Amino acid sequence: MKKLTRSALSAAVVAAVSTGGLAMTATATAEMSANIGVVSNYYFRGVTQTLDSAAVQGGVDFEDASGFYAGAWTSNVDFDDGTSYELDLYLGFAGEVANGIGYDVGYVYYAYPDAPDSIDFGEIYGELSYEMFYAGLAYTINSDNDDGLFDSGDAYYYVGAGLPLPEDFSLGLTLGFYDFDNDGSADVGDASYSHFAVNLAKDAGDLGEFSLNFEYADIDEGDALGTVNSDDLKTWVGWSKGF
């Protein structure tokens, strides 16, 4: 997913980065691009989506000079229930206002077409950025799961920074909090948690981008998202390339 890599609204931070595009018109008012990636573990806001296994991911994006963009992104997943893949569809507007303040607003729909139960949900999101710093919010506005996790009313808040380093390296830092609407209910139990991520990436030009990533989620083993996601530091590596 091109626009939302920092806030991790879809995939792992660098696995979904698109670094190039194909102009659609001679005036370059719009462009199409694509991206592919491989990660040793697919994390979504500090929670594994593949039971600690690897994932192959990719997507396509359309971007207009007006700031409008739309795209689709997919990855294999494993929830130990037969669900095999995720498909994200999104659209939004991004740009810059006065004094160098950037913005990104839009909607993303998370679909799991072969899940045994309907677990799709959709979020609106907004992000503000200035130089290397950014902050944002993703809010679930529609969901097929009325009384569990990823229900309407869930919110993910985050702040972070992206720092360029010498030799085409970069460092990303993200601190987030996932506030579940049904946290503490009898059917769910403790669910809300804080999340921290550190991502070190190397731009290797035509070879793509490589990354070393660390994830921590403050989740106890007895929590709703516990066991495989219990609070110890997770490490994963990734590769991505844009076209």
How far, in Å, CA of 205 to CA of 89, rounded?
28
Give yes or no for residue 98 having a pLDDT over 60: yes
Confidence class for position 228, pLDDT limits 50, 70, 90:
confident
How far, in Å, CA of 54 to CA of 218, rounded?
22
Q: What is the pLDDT of residue 28?
A: 57
- The answer to whether residue 15 is domain-embedded is no
Q: What is the pLDDT of residue 187?
A: 86
CATH of the domain at 77: 2.40.160.40
- Which pair of tokens denotes residue 45? 């806001």
- The answer to whether residue 101 is domain-embedded is yes
- The answer to whether residue 55 is domain-embedded is yes
Cβ atoms 121, 143 nearer than 8 A: yes
Give yes or no for residue 20 having a pLDDT over 50: no
Contacts of 215 (CB under 8 A, 6+ apart): 43, 46, 195, 196, 197, 233, 234, 235, 236
Confidence class for position 118, pLDDT limits 50, 70, 90:
very high
- The answer to whether residue 229 is domain-embedded is yes
Cβ atoms 206, 183 nearer than 8 A: no
| 21-36 pLDDT per residue, tens | 333 444 457 899 999 9
- The answer to whether residue 8 is domain-embedded is no
Query: Structure pTM?
Result: 0.88
- The answer to whether residue 164 is domain-embedded is yes
- The answer to whether residue 95 is domain-embedded is yes
Domain that holds residue 135: 22-242
The stretch 18-23 carries a mean pLDDT of: 34
Q: How many CB atoms sit inside 10 A of residue 39's CB?
A: 26
Q: Which residues of 134-160 are buried (b: 16+ CB within 10 A; e: fewer)?
A: bbbbbbbeebbbeebbbbbebebebeb
User: How are beta strands 22-23 and 55-64 bridged, if at all?
Assistant: unpaired
- The answer to whether residue 73 is domain-embedded is yes
Q: How many domains would you assign to the chain?
A: 1
| 162-213 pLDDT per residue, tens | 999 999 999 999 999 999 999 999 889 999 999 999 999 999 999 999 999 9
